[in-house]
Structure formats: structure tokens, C-alpha cells
Chains A and B, each alone.
Chain A
Amino acid sequence: MSRFRLERLFAEVRSSGRTALLPFMTAGLPSVSTSVDLFVAMADSGADGFEVGIPYSDPMMDGPTIQAANRRALAGGVTVEKGLEVVAAVVERTGKPVIVMTYANPIFRIGAAIFAERCREAGASGVIVADLPLEEAAAIQDPIEATGLGMVLFAAPTSSNARLEAIAAANPVFIYGIADLGVTGERRGSSSHARELAARIRTVTGLPLVMGVGISTPDQARSLAGEADGIIVGSALVRRVLEAPDEQAALDAVRNAVVELAGALR
């Protein structure tokens, strides 16, 4: 069961009363050959696990930063297979739980059962599909769970409590609470939605809760510590990679940012 790494992490953060840091990074950045090193550097700097993005041509839920990362990865030749090779190497070298993130079309194109099997072989713990709401989830969730992986489902500030209950009833490996209205991207200030949503989810279910979207600074991370089992930071880290003049600078910038974020959650 590959999801055990993730379940073990949630058990550990709950017993020690802390919040896990789960950075998002597109596979193949800063380059295909150094992608794994970037994840290892983040693991060494305090990351508890990762969301690894398999690039997609039309990422509807992503803002300009992660769109640019998708373009760069695709231009660099990152296929689903190459992306999952990165996942496998990250799991092997860090021992941390990895969640594979992508969009529905690449999964259906390959075939959900085949995709699930490839994720299992790579040692992934779970799968997130950005454009897959509860109503359409079964076609991917069933094969994912049949291979022993966990499915992640979203809850949004716009989701009613009745929807939150239905989402919880589908028994995802964790609920991804969308911390702000809008697509991925850095924000100034903290979203008023995040705490409200986290509190509503907590009253509905005891499932692990991870908050993401629009969380980019140590202050924002700190304001959510204690509200969730984990937080996801994506665009703020991806931007540092895209802006870095070379690969070493990218590694250094991301390492520093992860140290600060992990510190803020302690």
C-alpha cells in the first residue's frame, strides 16, 4: 500500500500537534536532470512531502507562474512517464510521501487504470486532479484506490456544508481545502476564506485536511498552522525557480524559502 507514507505523516503531525509542509513543484524543473535534486534539497530543508506536478498544456486551475512552469516542463520534454520517473526517484531518495498532481485529460488519455498502476510503481502515495470534482471523481478514484493509492478531493470556500459532507463521504486520503478564491498564484495578505473553510471542514469530518492555493509567505503559513494537518506552497517556490539565473541559484533560493516556511510552521 503506497499510501502508507502519507498516512504515517498525518498520524505523526497529529500526535505532535504540528502542521506539515508539502511543497508543490512541477516535475522537470529547473531541468529534467536536476529536478530530483530540487526535491531532495527541499526535503533536507524541512519539507514533509511533495505534490509533484505532471505538466499539462491547458492548466485551468493555475495562474501565470505555474502556467509558465508547465510550458517550460513540456518544452523540456517532460512526459507523464518522465514525470513519474521523477516521482519514483524522489520517493526513493527522500522517503517522503509524494502526491501526483495533474489534470483529467492526460489521465484519461493514458487510461485511468494504467495511470494508477504507473503511479503505484513509482511509489506515489496519492493523486490530485485539479479539474475533477466529486461528481466525476469515481472514474479516476476507483482505479487509484484499487492500486492502493489514495485519492485527494477538493473543498472550496464556495462548497456548501452539504457538499463538504458528500466529499468527506467519498473518503479521500485527505481533503485539499482551497484556501482562497481563484487559481494558484501568490497573494498579498491572508485570505479570509482559509480559516473559515478549514473550520467548516473540521466540523464535518476528521479526515486529514491540507490547505493550499494562495499560500506563499511564512506569515501566511503561520496563520494557518494549527488549522490544518498540512499546507501546500506552490507558486512562491516555482517562481523562485523560474526567476533564478541558473540551476544552482534555483536550488539555493528554493532551499532558503523552504527553511523559512518550515520554520514558520514550527
Chain B
Amino acid sequence: MKLERPDDRGRFGEFGGRFAPETLIPALDELAEAFERSWSGDRFVGEYQRVLRDYVGRPTPLHEAGRLSERLGVRILLKREDLAHTGAHKINNAIGQVMLARDMGKPRVIAETGAGQHGVATATAAAYFGLKCDVYMGEVDIDRQALNVHRMGMLGARVSPVTSGAGTLKDAVSEAMRDWVRTVETTHYVIGSVVGPHPFPWMVREFQKVIGEEALEQLEGRLPDYVVACVGGGSNAIGIFYPFAGLGPQLIGVEAAGLGIESGQHGASIGAGTPGILHGTRTYLLQDDEGQVLEAHSISAGLDYPGVGPEHAFFAESGIARYESATDTEALAAMELLARTEGIIPALESAHAIAWIIREAEALAGRTVLVNLSGRGDKDVEQLARMTQ
């Protein structure tokens, strides 16, 4: 059964917890208290909902993908997070956390970003609420998601390139954590997914569950057979899964299979990883026999991460959700099919969810599948244009 909240140590079953330097523990305690107080109070929740409605543009539509459904023989409903302000679900969480930072009296926020969507969302929320914003981004991602780097600059955020490791999302998270250890008295770290030490995985899920709650309402009681979402750290997936968990639909998380699971070049932490500690939480991760973390690979920067949120590890372990994967090639094909049949260019991340449906179309024939279309693909167009040249 799904857990309304993790236990006192921040555990979802055997996953989660708080493996962070002592310097950060008091700040994590303060954050947990502030979140708990705010999230159970009308003033904070009322403001959060107002901002999501009037500024972010929620509720996002539930779109019946007619031509795609016809093509695949599967009824496909798209939850259009790509239509949220800034172009992805990441804004739901960024608004909530930046409001908390403001209420805790922290004048500065920091964030990591892979695809740049969370960086843009945090820079946007910081501009909206008048906070200072620094974003850490791996140098490989700065190159492949250049559009979002420019957007963050325009929004007044400073983007710091991270050169350690493979220069991708894992390294950006580590660098943001290091900044936070130094600046914790004046800074809040807006983590972009359901990862990190307690209370982050729980708090980010609470800020993202609006996706599934809206979809439930929009479905007016007609439950789908499947709910599908891509899984990087897992925030868009948990956001749509959580309200549906236990109601009947089969929940499918789609991880990045990169160049293929056998190649070792992928981001399938649940599918091919083992339990361990990464970025402050106990979860599934890609690691060697010595506990050294392996580099992930995915064509999509947002899924290029060797870990996953601890609640997904718990969902996988307890059978609440199932985790599959899609390759780079499959994601590219899915992106093109959605563009041609529906006139929607999805983010490469979100295309992984569509790719799984395409592969399983035969088995899914006649069924209804709700997909979280977590973001739009404008950010990926330049990378793809370069690849096809």
C-alpha cells in the first residue's frame, strides 16, 4: 500500500532516509518543519493554488490523442504538463519550494538542472517571488540544452557549469549540495525531483501530486487501464502515480534504456541497478561492486541520472508500480510520431513514455492509457537538428 508520508526517519519502507553531512541536518529539520506547517495551513496552500492557477496556467488539459490512438490501436490520453508555464511539470515543485524559501526568510535559492527545465522553473519562481537564484548544470547538458541556458540567463539566474564526473545531472546535484553545505544559513536548495535526503522526496511528491489529482478529476470517474510516465529522478511519474495508486490502473514508469540495457549505457536505476545510497537517500542506483556510482547515459538530459527517487524504489519493491525502459532510438521515433500525429513536439524525456506504448501497442490494444506528457520539446530541437546534420 502507498504511504501517505514517510516515517519519522524519512523512510518509504527500506528506502529514503537522510545520508547527508551533519552541517545540513539542522536545515533539513527546519525545512521539514516549515513544509509540514505550511502544507497543512490554508494560507500557504491557498496561495500555492492561486499561483498555479493564475500564473502557471493550471489545471493543464487532458487531451484525447485521437490520431495517435487510431494509429496505435490504443486509446491514449495525454496529461498536458507541456502546457504549464515554462513548458514542463517542474514548475509545480519550483513554485512550492521557492514559496517555502521565502517564508523561511532565505533570500537565495539554488538548483541543479539536467534538461534545464527545472533550472528554468526555479529561475522563473525566483524572479516571480524576488529571490536570488544560482543554477548548477553539467557542461555536457549546457551544450545539449543551450536554449534553456539562455532562458535562465534572461530570467536573472546565474548558471554555473559543472565539470566534475561526466558533466551531467548527477554531478550538478553533487555541486548544488556542496554549495548548500557552505551557504545553508541564507540559501534554500530547490531539489528538482523526488530525490535527496528527507524531506525532499516527500515534499516534492506533495508539490507534484496535483498532476494526478487533476487528471482523476478530469477523467470523471472513468479510470484508465494504465498510467504511464517517464522516470528520471521520478517527479513527474510520482506526481501522476500517487493519486492513482491503489485505485486499479497499472502504473508504469519508463526509465531510459539509452543505448540498450545490455550496453551498460543507460539510466535504468530500478531496471538494472541495486540498492545503495546516492545524494542523501537510500534507493536503487547504478553502481559497481565497490559501491562506486556509475555514469548513466541517456539521449535526454533529464533521464541521464544513475539514481531514482526512494518512493519509486518502494513502489517497485512493493509492486505498486512497474518499471520498464525505452532506448534513445525508441524515444526519438516516439517524438516524431507524436509530432506528426498530434502536432505536439514532446520533450525527449516524455517521449520515453510514449515509446513504451508504441512498443507494447499490441498487448495494449483497445485499452486506455493515461500518459504524463511531462514537458515540451523546444529545448531538444537544436540538439536533434545537430544530430541529423
| Residues of chain A whose beta carbon lies under 8 Å from any beta carbon of chain B | 56-58, 60-63, 67, 74, 79-80, 103-110, 130-136, 153-160, 163, 178, 181-183
Contact = CB atoms under 8 A, between A and B. Distances in A.
B54 interface: no
Given A63-B178, A105-B291, A181-B185, A57 B23 contact: no
Interface in B4-19: 9, 17-19
Interface of B: 9, 17-27, 164-165, 170, 174, 177-178, 181-185, 276-280, 287, 289-293
B104 to A, nearest CB: 14
B182 A181 contact: yes
A155 B20 CA distance: 13
Which of B22, B27, B165, B290: most chain A Cβ within 10 A? B22
Given A153-B22, A182-B178, 6 more contacts: A105-B293, A109-B287, A133-B18, A156-B26, A181-B185, A182-B23
A214 B357 CA distance: 53
Given A58-B170, A105-B277, A135 B25 contact: yes
B19 to A, nearest CB: 5
Nearest to B25: A133
B276 A108 contact: yes
B384 to A, nearest CB: 30
B280 A131 contact: yes
Nearest to A160: B26
Nearest to A183: B178
A181 B180 CA distance: 9
A139 B302 CA distance: 33
A74 B291 CA distance: 12
A136 B18 contact: yes
B184 A80 contact: no
Given A104-B19, A136-B19, A158 B26 contact: yes
A182 B187 CA distance: 13
Contacts of A134: 22, 25
Given A133-B22, A156-B22, A183-B181, A105 B27 contact: no
Contact of B181 (A61, A80, A135, A163): A61
B20 A131 contact: yes
Given A105-B287, A109-B276, A60 B164 contact: no
A74 B165 CA distance: 12
A160 B33 CA distance: 16
A105 B181 contact: no
10 contacts: A60-B177, A60-B178, A104-B19, A105-B276, A131-B19, A136-B9, A158-B24, A182-B23, A182-B182, A183-B182
